[in-house]
Chains A and B, each alone.
Chain A
Amino acid sequence: MCLGVPGKVIEVSGNVATVDFWGVRRQVQLDVIDEPVAPGDYILNHVGFAIRRIPESEIGETLALYEQLIKQAEEDDLMTQDVRGEIAASSEPNRGHS
């Protein structure tokens, strides 16, 4: 619904930032962003307006978020496999006690 594209601020002049989109640059309005931006900041651009400043630290956080989901699912699955293994082992015939 909203094509939002991140870019990196190169220069700020009053209400307008020059933003680098890693191939092209464009002026982006700062009328609606809720914190000051400086060269080097990432911003999220939508229709020529910066709607959010994205701190660089968020990159690592985002990757960590993905890792956490992946790892948790793997661990849960291994646990499930262990449990299934135990159940299978204990329910096999001629295997003695329950």
Chain B
Amino acid sequence: MAIPDPARAIAELKFRDPIRGRGLLDALARRTAEIDHSPVSVMHVCGSHEQAIAKFGLRSAFPRGLNVIMGPGCPVCITDTPEVDEGVVLARQGVHIATYGDMVRVPGTVLSLADAQAEGAHIHVIYSATQAVELARSMTEEVVFFATGFETTAVATAAVVLGGLPPNLSILSAHKYIPPVMEIVAEMPHTRVEGFLAAGHAATITGAAVFEPFVSRHKLPVVIAGFEPLDILAGLVKLLELIRDGTPAVANMFPRCVSHEGNLRAQEQLWKVFKPTGGRWRGIAHVPNGNLRLRDEFAAIDARRRFPIDLTTLWDYAPPALAQSCICGDIMAGLKAPSDCKLFGQECTPEAPVGACMVSTEGACRIWHQYGGHPNLGGDA
């Protein structure tokens, strides 16, 4: 097996060498065994954590007694159908939509942005919010930046807004804020989650301190972890230690990026532009303060106020009854597994997704479908 040059990897901040990986996996196995019950259930609330876990095949290497649940941390998954519908309706009105690639295939009530594009709508995939500005400057037609993602991504939108937008550009904000949903999960009566792995990049912005009230309220440990495979393993080891010791605390295992108070300059811009409001997350009904909407001062560049958005125009199509049977919410909350869903693999597949959990590459159902459930791939085949 070819091993990449380890020194160079470290210099590129790629922490993924197999030797340390083995060491941390062994530590994880030991710590898991030290806990007096099995399985131990922990939850991460970040789609990128699940993506990294999946990409590096970590699930196949986790100890058997450890259950790492994917919580509602995939912003694509939890973008509610009406929000996608808003984008679709605008697209069908002839407005140019700039959006991140992640959202293009997420199903709305009936159509996704990709479907709208197939019908002739103008959908532009961008990598950075600044490109929405460049796009608007290159034309006279109206452009809407369909802005999705969690607070980390909302910071970029805020910066662009504060820089001043061209007159033909407005923002449709579907941004979300993660800490409130951790509360909801912690408060769910049947939850078995004993600790949380928190998203390192969001914490880079908000700081480790933001989790302290949560920890003292719910007496559950929170470990902030980065996204390199060694970061994730180290985070899990620490989390298991805290669970073993019964220590509800916030532990920062991503100190190279996360400080106690976070990035204050980014926070300032974020809250200058956005306010947290209650809203629906796909499958999780109401999340107080879970949505980030533009403040009233920015009404002029708020797409929801610039355009009439009539979602009933989509109701020419009968909404599929399948949506009623979708249990994405329970899956995202870690209460059910994809295999518990009667649509899974039948009416709901990656090519024909019903819920967003199957659309998003980070969605629990999609990953489960790809990897055949919990992959049993170990050993030398």
**A residues in contact (CB < 8 Å) with B:** 1-4, 6, 22, 29, 31-34, 42, 44, 46-49, 51-52, 54-55, 58-59, 61-63, 65-67, 69-70, 72-74, 76-77
Nearest CB of B to A46, in Å: 6
Which residue of chain A is the closest to B230 with respect to CB atoms?
A66
Residues of B within 8 A of A49 (CB): 128-129, 155-156, 159
Given A4-B152, A32-B155, A54-B257, also A73-B127 (CB < 8 A): no
B257 touches A46 (CB 8 A): no
Given A22-B12, A32-B269, also A1-B127 (CB < 8 A): no
Which residue of chain B is the closest to A44 with respect to CB atoms?
B257
Residues of A within 8 A of B264 (CB): 34
B149 touches A51 (CB 8 A): no
Contacting B204 at CB < 8 Å: which of A51, A63, A76? Answer: A51
Given A51-B201, A54-B256, also A32-B46 (CB < 8 A): no
Residues of B within 8 A of A47 (CB): 100, 127-129, 149, 153, 156
A29-B156, A29-B159, A49-B156 known; 10 new pairs, CB 8 Å cut-off, are A1-B152, A2-B152, A6-B12, A46-B153, A48-B131, A49-B159, A59-B10, A61-B255, A61-B256, A66-B230
Which residue of chain B is the closest to A59 with respect to CB atoms?
B10
Q: Is B293 an interface residue (CB 8 A)?
A: no
Residues of B within 8 A of A22 (CB): 12
Nearest CB of A to B132, in Å: 11
Residues of B within 8 A of A76 (CB): 30, 34
Interface of B is mostly: helix
Q: Which residues 23-47 in B have Cβ within 8 Å of A in the complex?
A: 23-24, 26-27, 30-31, 34, 45-47
Given A1-B150, A1-B199, also A59-B128 (CB < 8 A): no
Residues of A within 8 A of B74 (CB): 1
Residues of A within 8 A of B374 (CB): none
Q: Is B73 an interface residue (CB 8 A)?
A: yes
- A42, B263: Cα distance in complex, Å: 16
Residues of B within 8 A of A73 (CB): 26-27, 30-31, 237
Q: Is B238 an interface residue (CB 8 A)?
A: yes
Nearest CB of A to B87, in Å: 18
Residues of A within 8 A of B15 (CB): 62-63, 66
- A32, B12: Cα distance in complex, Å: 23
A–B complex contacts, Cβ < 8 Å, 23 sampled:
A1-B49, A1-B149, A1-B202, A2-B152, A2-B201, A4-B48, A4-B204, A4-B227, A32-B269, A33-B263, A44-B201, A46-B201, A48-B129, A48-B156, A51-B155, A54-B256, A58-B255, A61-B256, A69-B234, A70-B20, A70-B23, A70-B24, A73-B237
Residues of B within 8 A of A77 (CB): 30
B156 touches A42 (CB 8 A): no
B159 touches A32 (CB 8 A): yes
Q: Is B253 an interface residue (CB 8 A)?
A: yes
Residues of A within 8 A of B227 (CB): 4
Given A47-B156, A65-B234, A70-B23, also A2-B129 (CB < 8 A): no
